[in-house]
Structure 1
Amino acid sequence: MRIPIINQSRHALPEYQTAHAAGMDVRANLPEPITLKPLQRALIPTGLFLEIPVGYEVQVRPRSGLAYKHGIGIVNSPGTIDADYRGELKVLLVNLSDQEFVVQDGERVAQLVVARHETVVWQPAQELSETQRGSGGYGSTGTV
């Protein structure tokens, strides 16, 4: 699949880090470093603009290394970039640790996954089919 992309950053396009990776790492495009204090969030620009095909989305997901080593996540994870959005791709980082974290220009801040999706039309109904689970919700399928 080919997706048109404009790169106004000083960095390489997002890329897969291994042969079978699902996500491509995306880098911060910053004029100067941004310090995230504990529990602070910031919108991190990437300098990238995408033309996503209709029927697809780009999911913006946290990087496991940043989460594990520094407690850095994405507030609305996964974030969704819709096919009709043409603005700059930005990443909403949050610092969930108890220490400051400095986001540097060029740092890999998230991963992007291209995913197909369906568009639904709701079909109003008076009742739904029966299942073994039924209306059992949170915690209803076991203790673990």
Structure 2
Amino acid sequence: MQIPVINRSRHALPEYQTAHAAGLDVRANLAAPVTLGPLQRALIPTGLFLEIPVGYEMQVRPRSGLAYKHGIGLVNSPGTIDADYRGELQVLLVNLSDQAFVVQDGERIAQLVVARHEVVAWQPVEALSETGRGAGGYGSTGSA
């Protein structure tokens, strides 16, 4: 799949780190480091502008290494870049640890996964089909 991209950053385009990786690592594009204190969040620019094909979304997901080693995640995970969005890709990081974390220019901050999606057409009905779970809510499948 080819995706049109404008790269206004000082860094290479997002890339796969291994032959079978699903996510492309995207880098911070910063004029100066950004410090995230405990429980702080910041919108980190990437310098990338994308044209996602209609029928697809680009999912922005956390990097497991940042999450495990430093408690850094994404507030809206996964984030979605829609096919009609043309602004800069920015990543909303959050520091869930008790230590400050410094985001450096060029640091790999998230991964991008392309996913096909369907467009929903609602079908109003008076009743839904029966299932074993029924109306059981959160945690209902593990209780006896």
TM range (shorter): over 0.9
Residue 135 of structure 1 aligns with an amino acid whose one-letter code is A
C-alpha displacement at 1:132, in angstroms?
A: 1.2
State percent identity of aligned pairs. Answer: 85
Q: Which runs of 5+ in 2 are unaligned?
A: none
1:70-93 Cα deviation digits (max 9, x unpaired):
000000000000000000000000
C-alpha displacement at 1:13, in angstroms?
A: 0.2
Aligned pair count? Answer: 143
Q: Confirm or deny that 1:45 pairs with 2:45.
A: yes
Q: CA RMSD in A?
A: 0.6
Residues 31-70 of structure 1: matches in 2 within 5 Å? 31-70=31-70
Q: What CA distance in whole angstroms lies between the structure 2 residues aligned with 1:40 and 1:134?
A: 40
Residue 78 of structure 2 aligns with an amino acid whose one-letter code is P
Q: What CA distance in whole angstroms lies between the structure 2 residues aligned with 1:60 and 1:109?
A: 10
Q: Confirm or deny that 1:112 pairs with 2:112.
A: yes
Q: What CA distance in whole angstroms lies between the structure 2 residues aligned with 1:48 and 1:106?
A: 13
Q: Which runs of 5+ in 1 are unaligned?
A: none
Q: What CA distance in whole angstroms lies between the structure 1 residues aligned with 2:69 and 2:123?
A: 46
Q: What CA distance in whole angstroms lies between the structure 1 residues aligned with 2:142 and 2:101?
A: 38
**1:100 corresponds to which residue?**
100
C-alpha displacement at 1:3, in angstroms?
A: 0.4
Q: What CA distance in whole angstroms lies between the structure 1 residues aligned with 2:32 and 2:126?
A: 57
TM-score, L = length of structure 1: 0.98
**1:81 corresponds to which residue?**
81
Find runs of 4+ consecutive structure 1 residues off by over 2 angstroms.
none
